[in-house]
Amino acid sequence: MALVQQLLDQHPGPLPIKGTFQCLSTEVFDFIVSGVSVRKPNTAVGAAGVEIYIFDKDGKQVGYTSGTIDGTLTGGRRATVAQFGQTSLSAGETYTFEVRPVFPECASDEKDFYTATIIY
């Protein structure tokens, strides 16, 4: 049986999105955030994407991963190439997470949806 925990289930934007979770294991775990991204109009050509940070109770960053994509406005939103991140935390402890655009030039709104999952 898999030990899997959903942090966001098709949560609509805009970013950032914040939340908390209770870690289920002391084992190393992997986590991923998927969604779409695009750069805002009148910004330089470049990458776009979505990232997720995990913080402990003291606000220290204890986990990070992201997904990136060509952010060219022509063509609109694209699904990010979402990569897994890996970390280990303390079982039973509560942590906070925040899903953000990877650059301030990235757009997001209520028509964008984000899914974030931990697989232990």
Q: Which residues bind other proteins (CB under 8 A)?
A: 1-6, 9-10, 30, 32, 34-36, 38, 46-47, 67-72, 74-86, 111-113, 115, 117, 119-120
- Residue 40 C-beta: closest distance to other proteins, Å: 14
Closest CA to 113 of 2, 15, 7: 15
Complex with other proteins: residue 61 or 84, whichever CB lies closer: 84
Q: What is the distance between the alpha carbons of residues 99 and 65, in angstroms, rounded to a whole number?
A: 10
Q: Return the SS3 of 106.
A: strand
Query: How many other CB atoms are found less than 10 A from the CB of residue 70?
Result: 16
Of the two residues 42 and 74, which places its CB atom closer to other proteins in the complex? 74
> Judged by CB, which is closer to other proteins: 59, or 75?
75
